[in-house]
Chains A and B, each alone.
Chain A
Amino acid sequence: MAWTAPMTAVAGAVYTAAQFNTFVRDNLNECAPAKASIIGSYFTTSDDNQISERLVEQAVVNQQDSFNSTSYIDPNASPTGNSPIAGPAVTVQTGSVAFVAVGGRIGGNATGVDSVKMSWACSGATSISAADNWAAGLIKLGQYSFAYCNRGYLAVGLNPGQNTFTAKYAASGGTGFASYRTIVVLPF
């Protein structure tokens, strides 16, 4: 069903069942209460005279993992002795825009690291590679220096649909480390 501009009633004219179904029933079914299904969600415009329910999502990886690539990758080692954990990642239904925030405890180790960065990539309906323009992290902070830092950024030009946002990591001049890693996506 789609929204139809409500009719204007005229005194003396017959108000038909078809008019009720089109202008009242079908339009009410396009309104927020008819579409509300998930506690904590909200409504955005998905097209002209069309709204959609959206849900903010977050994922967390607490384990400290490391990475030694100058291009953005998943963590490829862990000082914990466990296997490194990729992500965090969330999959959400988005429109063309979403607010994405990544952050964590990010830094170097025994050797000073030139740069340690946590960014995000998008896959699914949209393909976006991780980039410095929306990264959190540090440059030349020295040995064993970490920051709890984050970066909020608006992802635009998304293809509406199921999009997966995954944290990616890069380091230069040594090995970077990150723990308490979070990603939040607020889709519009």
Chain B
Amino acid sequence: MTAVAGAVYTAAQFNTFIRDNLNETLPALATVSGNYFVTTGTHHLAERAVAQDLIAVQNGFDSTSYDDPDLAGLAGETITPGPTVTMFTGTRALVVVGGRIGGGTTSTQSVKMSWEVSGATSINASDEWAAGCVGFGGATTFAYDSRAYLATLTQGINTFTAKYAVSSTPGYASSRSILVMPF
């Protein structure tokens, strides 16, 4: 409202224009340390939390299409799918996957770590947002690397899960992380 000299400033006006508007500001919405704020509509803000999952152990994979790890690590580590994070997102999120990614005892043409989305959004894993290496040549050659990509989503609860693929012989990945920063 715009106040006018001499006009009565009513309780209803205070409640609408002061109280209710203050309750839409950041400190009124702030609840958890480490969160941040995004715009969810005209004059509407929401608190978001960045999340990450890490699987340190090495696993292998031998599918040419993106899949969960299906082989133990070179030292016999138990197969552990993921990493994965589930969170509420708006229509966009920055997703970063990475790890120690490479070939096994024989040379591998390509070894890739990507991610898929399930839940409110369905997105298949793709090379377009993969980390990894191609044609490194030697056996047991690895790269510690990551890949950042902006995902376009349907608002809601979305689950982001790392997926893996190779083009020939088995690939391996450890220190696997996925980080999602929702907007």
A contact residues vs B (CB 8 Å cutoff): 3, 5-13, 15, 23-24, 27-28, 30-32, 42-51, 95-97, 99, 101, 117, 132-142, 147, 149-154, 156, 160, 188
The answer to whether A99 and B26 touch (CB under 8 A), given A142-B137, A188-B35, is no
Q: How far is the CA of A133 from the CA of B98 in the complex (A)?
A: 9
Q: Is the CB of A152 within 8 A of B23?
A: no
Q: Is the CB of A133 within 8 A of B177?
A: yes
Q: How far is the CA of A137 from the CA of B98 in the complex (A)?
A: 11
- B137-181: which residues lie under 8 A (CB-CB) from chain A? 137-138, 140-146, 148, 175, 177, 179, 181
The answer to whether A150 and B145 touch (CB under 8 A), given A32-B26, A95-B34, is yes
Q: Is the CB of A8 within 8 A of B19?
A: yes
Q: Is the CB of A153 within 8 A of B177?
A: yes
B contact residues vs A (CB 8 Å cutoff): 9-12, 14-15, 18-19, 22-23, 25-28, 30-37, 47, 50-52, 54, 56, 96, 98, 100, 102, 136-138, 140-146, 148, 175, 177, 179, 181
Q: How far is the CA of A169 from the CA of B35 in the complex (A)?
A: 31
B95, closest chain A residue (CB): A152
Chain A nearest CB, measured from B1 CB (Å): 13
Interface of A is mostly: mixed
Chain A residues in 8 Å Cβ range of B179: 99, 152-154
Chain A residues in 8 Å Cβ range of B28: 3, 5-6, 49
Chain B residues in 8 Å Cβ range of A31: 25-27
Question: Can you list 15 A-B pairs with a CB-CB distance of less than 8 A?
Answer: A15-B9, A24-B18, A31-B27, A42-B36, A45-B35, A47-B33, A96-B34, A97-B34, A101-B146, A132-B100, A138-B144, A139-B140, A140-B138, A141-B136, A156-B52
Q: Is the CB of A45 within 8 A of B47?
A: yes
Contact of B100 among A12, A27, A48, A139 (CB under 8 A): A139
The answer to whether A152 and B148 touch (CB under 8 A), given A31-B25, A44-B36, A45-B36, is yes
Chain A nearest CB, measured from B19 CB (Å): 4
Chain A nearest CB, measured from B33 CB (Å): 5
Contact of B52 among A8, A117, A132, A154 (CB under 8 A): A154
Chain A residues in 8 Å Cβ range of B141: 138-142
Chain A residues in 8 Å Cβ range of B34: 44-45, 95-97, 188
Q: How far is the CA of A141 from the CA of B142 in the complex (A)?
A: 7
Chain A residues in 8 Å Cβ range of B19: 6-9, 23
Chain B nearest CB, measured from A72 CB (Å): 13
Q: Is the CB of A152 within 8 A of B96?
A: yes
